[in-house]
Amino acid sequence: MKLFKIFTLCVCCLFVTNTAFAQKRAVKEDWVKLFNGNDLKDWDIKITNEDLGVNYKSTYQVDSGILKISYDEYTNFNSKYGHMYYKTPYSYYKIRFEYRFVGQQITGGAEWNVRNSGIMIHSQSAQSMTKAQDFPASLEIQLLGGSNQGARTTANLCTPGTIVEMNGKINPEHCINSSSKTYDGDQWVKVEAVVLGDSLITHYVEGLPVFAYQKPHIGEDASGKGASLASGYIAVQAESHPIHFKSIEILNLEGCKNPKCAKYKSYYIKSITCKRCKKSS
């Protein structure tokens, strides 16, 4: 009888453990497609020295479910830096997308823009851009393609009009490399970022964490006295080299504002929903 009770207790414990594990795995993340695969609905285009909404020479195109930044109608780049902004600002969220560089850079593009583009987060709005402004104040998830000439990381950080902290100290560099591998050729690359307002932001490439920073601020003053940058728009950059995006999706974590959430390990943050984050805190 005693052995039977012990056996029964073990079975019950195993059942509870397996049930909890199954429930954890069953949590559904409600990702929303920002790019719908059909058109540019809900996006605002702003290209340098063009009026808001002008898609200069069809720079942004949709073809067979792919968002294409194309220069087929250009003869020279002429500093026509472009950004296409999603209509809604976000603060706490996860974003994921797939990209690949294709073809050759358009004539007139800067040497440093070969196989170079980006996704801007916490950006100013398209409407607030001046007509001649090249880049929005934002945090750029910089996307770089390898050229079979050595290491060239991707999912780096560039800070137009902004500044961030790393390991508790202001980092004054405009562009900071991640720890990713190099992706040569025209292969698809998966990138994700976990954005927790103005606390912690982490970049991932192919599921691996490659970069993290804290406390983004407006301005480039190394004193860090600029306004805290806790939210903003998401924008797709056009910077003279053709690039394709297969998907751009977001998971809103707006309920996860408890500071303790930022203290979890990156992989845990990656696997939980807003509701569970609140409960766990």
- The token pair at 176 is 């900071």
Give 8: exposed, middle or buried? Use CB within 10 Å, 0-12, 13-18, 19+.
Answer: exposed
- Number of domains into which the chain is organized: 1
Asked if residue 79 is part of any domain, the answer here is yes
Distances (CA, A) of 178 to 33, 69, 94, 181: 26, 24, 18, 9
Residue among 195, 213, 207 nearest 261 (CA): 195
Residue 276 placed within a domain: no
CA distance 59 to 152: 26
Confidence category of residue 254, pLDDT binned at 50, 70, 90: confident
The domain of 265 spans 28-270
Mean per-residue pLDDT, 115-136: 98
The one-letter amino acid code at 162 reads T
pLDDT greater at residue 24 or residue 267:
24
Please tell me the predicted confidence (pLDDT) of residue 158: 98
Q: d(Cα 203, Cα 206) in Å, to the nearest integer?
A: 10
Q: Is residue 19 part of a domain?
A: no
Show the tokens assigned to 183: 């992706």
- The helix (H) or strand (E) run that includes residue 208 is strand 208-218
Kindly state the DSSP code that residue 227 receives in the 8-state scheme: P
The answer as to whether 280 is a domain residue is no
The amino acid occupying position 8 is T
- Specify if 183 maps to a domain: yes
Asked whether residue 15 is assigned to any structural domain, the reply reads no
d(CA 92, CA 121): 11
The overall average pLDDT reported for the chain is: 86
248-270 average pLDDT score: 62
Residue keyed to tokens 């100013």: 124
Question: At 152, which CATH number?
Answer: 2.60.120.560
Q: What is the C-alpha separation between 147 and 169, in angstroms, rounded?
A: 33
Lowest average pLDDT, out of 105-109, 137-141, 269-273, goes to 269-273
Using CA atoms, how far apart are residues 214 and 19, in angstroms rounded to an integer? 36
pLDDT (tens digit, 9 = 90+) per residue, 223-248?
Answer: 767 899 999 999 999 999 999 999 99
Instruction: For the chain, give the number of residues.
Output: 281
Q: What's the pTM?
A: 0.83
Q: Report, as an integer, the average pLDDT of 46-51.
A: 98
- The answer as to whether 279 is a domain residue is no
Give a yes or no: residue 92 inside a domain.
Answer: yes
